[in-house]
Amino acid sequence: MILHCVFLRFKSAVQAQEKQEIFEALAGLKEKIDGILDVTFGPNTSPEGLHGGFLDGFIVRFESVEARDAYLPHSDHIAVAERLVALLDGGLSGLLVFDMAV
């Protein structure tokens, strides 16, 4: 199983409704792309203060490395990813991806 952890630094002008819409679009990928077990999202709740400005995030749980690898170039993923990056502070620099095999 692969945990695809994505940490986000949204532009300050992005409203809660816009965040919710993009997170729902990401969650909707489960119905379109094989191998996604679930998608969870939300704000950083760590009390440590070590977030580096990444205040929101999501995790996609894949059944396998192959499922993750098929997701990355999938047209539905690309469409949502492009919408997401447009909302981030600094574009791609407002994003941190960490994949872990568990």
Give every residue of the chain whose pLDDT is below 50, as ranges. Answer: none
pLDDT given at position 87: 98
C-alpha span between 58 and 79 (Å, rounded): 17
- Domains, the chain: 2-45+52-101 (3.30.70.100)
pLDDT given at position 5: 98
pTM here? 0.93
Q: What is the residue-averaged pLDDT of the chain? A: 97
pLDDT given at position 44: 96
What is the CA angle 77-1-100, rounded to 5? 80
pLDDT given at position 41: 97
